[in-house]
Amino acid sequence: MPNNPPKRSRVAILGTVALILMSVLTVRVWFLQTVDAEGLQERVREVRTRTVKLTPERGRIFDIKGRIAATNERILTITLDRRIIQRDLARQQMWDRLYGVLGTTIQELENRFQSKRYDQLQPVPLKEDVSEDLVMFLRERAEDYPGIDVREDWRREYPYAPVASHVVGFLGAIKEGELEMYRNLGYDPDARVGQFGVEQTYESVLRGEPGFVKYEVDSRGRILRQLDRREPIPGNDVQLTIDLQMQQFAEQALQTQLRVRQRTEAPTVLKDGEPDPTYPPITYYKAPAGSVVLLNHATGEVKAMASYPNFDNRWFNAGITGEKFAQLFPNTKDPDGSILVNRAISGRYNLGSSFKPFVAYAALASGQLPGGADYTLRDEGTYKLESIPDERCQLNVKCVFKNANCGNGAPCKYGRVHIEDALAVSSDVFFYKIGEQIFTERGNTPVLEQEVRKFGFGSPTEIDLPYEFVGTVPNRELKKRLAEAGAISKDEGRGFYVGDNVQFSIGQGLLSATPLQVAVAYATLGNGGTVLKPKVVRAIWAPGTPLSNKSTIDLQKGVVVQDQSTPELVRVLPMESEIRDPIVKGLTRVINGPGVSFDFYHATTGEKLFQSYPKRVLPIAGKTGTAQGFGNLPWNDSSAFGAFSLTDAQPYSAFAYLEKSGFGSRAAAPVVKCLFTALAKRVKLPAIVPSDPLDLNMVTPAAEQMMENPLCLVGAGSSVRD
């Protein structure tokens, strides 16, 4: 008879396992029904609810007088609950019903559903800026379109576009590399954020705080009732230091002058006194781009900042195709054609003779000139380096440097000049000597570099705008770095030599600066030695300030939550009268004359141009500059001019730079002249009015901005390549 104990043992084991499983199940049921009953109920409720974020209204941006430069328009967006269309068949059926109603394509709807740009836990936005009629149509047919909802969004509007577009900026989709950062800050992946200008710098101020609304829904995603709602908190408003009327005038003056220069013949290249057959007999200036900055040198506030080429910031929320965007903003390596660049803070340029006032300061402040302002030098048109032996000069070492030509093919000769004369007529020879001896007589120490850095050259101004470039100040380290990068030869990068400092002393060589840096430097001369941090935002305002009319904030009825109008001091330069006075006198003579007489009368570089300027109403001092371009060809020369007022009643400084536009007195100086003429109220500023609707058929990034009356640009500029 077989032995049965093993069978009974297996039954016992199975019974034990079953008992354990039943015990675990009983405990779990007890736990869910008693201990975790509330949590279970909460999860059930969550499954039957839908939370929709409410986008806050973005803060407005307005100018110094309350004129609104950026505001918002409420729009409606059709959304769809993702749970309704998780299955491919359900989604296809929904797209078949919706694409015709929404005026889109099935593929576009599918792309939106699949896109990682949209929060996967939120309803997918199907169409923005829809009409009230479409909303009513869909709501009346909720049975046919389950899960469809409508949310309120905001679209950014720029009423005066393209005026101040480089300053105000625009909104754009979050960039791929920044998604994680913005997620951590509570942004949805499809949020639009500041991507340029004040919109970017003050993103956290303008954004506001999102709200939400929570609905109870049925199994098909249909809303049954509202459970909770928290209203979004609007963003704070931002007040600019910019005056939009002056900003518009600056942009018009800049663009008009560039157009004038494009129709102007450049000087013919001569060889042995005759036209060089290597080059075309007639060449026009390219004049592709430029910028101008006007700031208050008592406060550091920027009154106008123009950059060209300009763009209309309404393109960035116009819903245009990628092909249209590429047509308007082509991806180019040609810096002349770069559009989305604020040249006032991102352009790095040689300065030519517009840099000489700061070299003059370095010479006087360091005691380089024996007798200071009374020191004189006989300018015979050329300067031979005194520190280089003659035998080395005969071995391809450049030892002789010349003044600019006086129109007869020969360098200008100014006779005996002191520092005031040298600034007035822009004597290169005088500054060549400073460049050499401030270096060689001090053991090759970087005295010139140290002195001009005090004005801010080589350092960021820290203006409240993104993408500011620093510029470069020539020194040994810079040359080494450029050589390692392949920008200059390894032989050139081995050291910093006398010739480098000589070029440095006339604003050439490896010196580069942004127009804003130079404007700040001229402002420092204008205010007597105080370097101030420039700014484009004066104050942060609480949201909700009412309007005085449909396009202007009522500044009397708002609340300032952060006042930024107090000047921010960077440093104070020692600028005693024996240092500043000869510089200011020389720069005043640039505007008013007189020049110097030697072989004949040499006018100053600006006196002919400024003959019609109202000098008694608003006296100014300034300096022209011509930065030599590629190949030392005249049509590659860029034009620079800096100036500051001589009255505390209107403490303004300005700097203009027009690329490949010729002599400083012919291109840049007229633009600055117009700005100061307007400040003197001798030219009427055109009214600033809201823009016409954006023409989506345009093939240029912005409509032309030309002066109504360009007479302030007129005047005879110097014929010297100063």
Last residue of a domain, one of 206, 240, 274: 240
Whether the CB-CB separation of 620 and 677 falls below 8 Å is answered with no
Nearest alpha-carbon partner for 590 in 718, 681, 710, 712: 718
Domain annotation covers residue 708: yes
Q: Which residues contact 304 (CB under 8 A, 6 or more apart)?
A: 242, 243, 246, 247, 249, 250, 292, 293, 294, 675
Name the pLDDT band for 41 (thresholds 50, 70, 90). low
The highest-confidence range among 243-252, 541-550, 628-637, by mean pLDDT, is 243-252
Name the pLDDT band for 54 (thresholds 50, 70, 90). confident
Last residue of a domain, one of 240, 264, 298: 240
Name the pLDDT band for 405 (thresholds 50, 70, 90). confident
**pLDDT > 90 in the chain, percent:** 70
Domain annotation covers residue 492: no
232 has pLDDT over 50: yes
Same domain? For 199 and 333 the reply is no
Whether the CB-CB separation of 92 and 46 falls below 8 Å is answered with no
**pLDDT > 70 in the chain, percent:** 94
Distance of CA 422 to the CA centre of its chain: 35
Domain annotation covers residue 142: yes
Name the pLDDT band for 332 (thresholds 50, 70, 90). confident
275 has pLDDT over 90: no
Whether the CB-CB separation of 623 and 609 falls below 8 Å is answered with no
The pLDDT of residue 566 is 97
Domain annotation covers residue 417: no
Task: Identify any residues that bridge with 194 across adjacent strands, giving them in sequence order.
Answer: 171
Same domain? For 695 and 580 the reply is yes
The pLDDT of residue 707 is 95
Same domain? For 307 and 160 the reply is no
Strands (E), 206-354: 211-217, 223-230, 237-240, 270-271, 274-275, 290-296, 302-308
Same domain? For 267 and 210 the reply is no
429 has pLDDT over 80: yes
508 has pLDDT over 80: yes
Provide the residue type at 384 as one letter. Answer: K
Whether the CB-CB separation of 227 and 216 falls below 8 Å is answered with yes
Whether the CB-CB separation of 290 and 640 falls below 8 Å is answered with no
The pLDDT of residue 34 is 65
User: Domain of 253: which CATH number?
Assistant: 3.30.450.330
Place of tokens 């009522």: 554
Same domain? For 260 and 158 the reply is no
Task: Identify any residues that bridge with 225 across adjacent strands, giving them in sequence order.
Answer: 216
Whether the CB-CB separation of 554 and 545 falls below 8 Å is answered with yes
Q: What is the pLDDT of residues 134-165, one digit of tens each?
A: 999 988 888 888 888 888 889 999 999 999 99
| Angstrom distance (rounded) from CA 597 to CA 695 | 57
Same domain? For 703 and 632 the reply is yes
Nearest alpha-carbon partner for 47 in 218, 270, 252: 218
Provide the residue type at 722 as one letter. Answer: D
> What letter would DSSP give residue 563?
E
Same domain? For 285 and 187 the reply is no
Mean pLDDT across the stretch 501-512? 96
Distance of CA 277 to CAs 214, 281, 285, 381, 637, Å? 79, 8, 19, 27, 20
Q: What is the DSSP string of 124-148?
A: EEEEES--HHHHHHHHHTTTTSTTE
| 80 vs 198: which has the higher pLDDT | 198
Mean pLDDT across the stretch 202-216? 92
674 has pLDDT over 90: yes
Provide the residue type at 267 as one letter. Answer: P
Name the pLDDT band for 1 (thresholds 50, 70, 90). very low
| Angstrom distance (rounded) from CA 675 to CA 668 | 11
Average pLDDT, the chain: 91
User: Domain of 102: which CATH number?
Assistant: 3.90.1310.10
Domain annotation covers residue 659: yes
| 217 vs 282: which has the higher pLDDT | 282
Strands (E), 319-398: 376-379, 382-384
| Angstrom distance (rounded) from CA 600 to CA 412 | 10
Place of tokens 């328009």: 73
Domain annotation covers residue 165: yes
Mean pLDDT across the stretch 299-319? 96
Strands (E), 30-101: 49-54, 61-62, 68-80
Nearest alpha-carbon partner for 522 in 655, 420, 666: 655
Name the pLDDT band for 296 (thresholds 50, 70, 90). very high
Whether the CB-CB separation of 286 and 635 falls below 8 Å is answered with yes
Mean pLDDT across the stretch 12-17? 71
415 sits in the region (left: phi over 0; alpha: psi -120 to 50; else beta) called left
| Angstrom distance (rounded) from CA 604 to CA 97 | 77
409 sits in the region (left: phi over 0; alpha: psi -120 to 50; else beta) called left
Strands (E), 357-456: 376-379, 382-384, 400-402, 415-418
Count of C-beta atoms within a 10 Å radius of residue 368: 21
Nearest alpha-carbon partner for 498 in 420, 419, 444: 444
Alpha helices in 593-718 (DSSP H): 668-679
Last residue of a domain, one of 205, 240, 275: 240
Same domain? For 209 and 281 the reply is no
- Four-point Cα dihedral 220, 223, 225, 230, nearest 10: 120
Q: What is the pLDDT of residues 530-565, one digit of tens each?
A: 999 999 999 999 999 999 998 999 999 999 999 999
Q: What is the DSSP string of 188-234?
A: -TT-EEE-SHHHHHTHHHHH-B-EEEEEEE-TT--EEEEEEEE--BP
Count of C-beta atoms within a 10 Å radius of residue 41: 10
Name the pLDDT band for 316 (thresholds 50, 70, 90). very high
Nearest alpha-carbon partner for 403 in 386, 415, 419, 390: 415
Q: What is the pLDDT of residues 64-104, one digit of tens each?
A: 999 999 999 999 999 988 888 888 888 898 899 899 989 99
Same domain? For 307 and 215 the reply is no
The tally of domains found in the chain comes to: 2
Mean pLDDT across the stretch 420-441? 96
Same domain? For 121 and 218 the reply is yes
Distance of CA 160 to CAs 238, 659, 708, Å? 16, 26, 17
Mean pLDDT across the stretch 665-674? 97
Same domain? For 662 and 698 the reply is yes
- H or E stretch at 549: strand 547-549
Domain annotation covers residue 3: no
273 has pLDDT over 80: no
User: Which tokens sit at 184?
Assistant: 């951590």
Quote the domain boundaries for residue 336. Answer: 244-340+574-713
Mean pLDDT across the stretch 23-46? 59
Same domain? For 75 and 216 the reply is yes
> What letter would DSSP give residue 410?
S
Domain annotation covers residue 381: no
| Angstrom distance (rounded) from CA 371 to CA 385 | 22
Whether the CB-CB separation of 712 and 690 falls below 8 Å is answered with no
- Four-point Cα dihedral 149, 154, 155, 161, nearest 10: 170
Phi, psi of 207 (to 5 degrees): -65, -50
Q: What is the DSSP string of 446-501?
A: -HHHHHHHTTTTTS----SSS-----B---HHHHHHHHHTTSS-TTGGG---HHHH
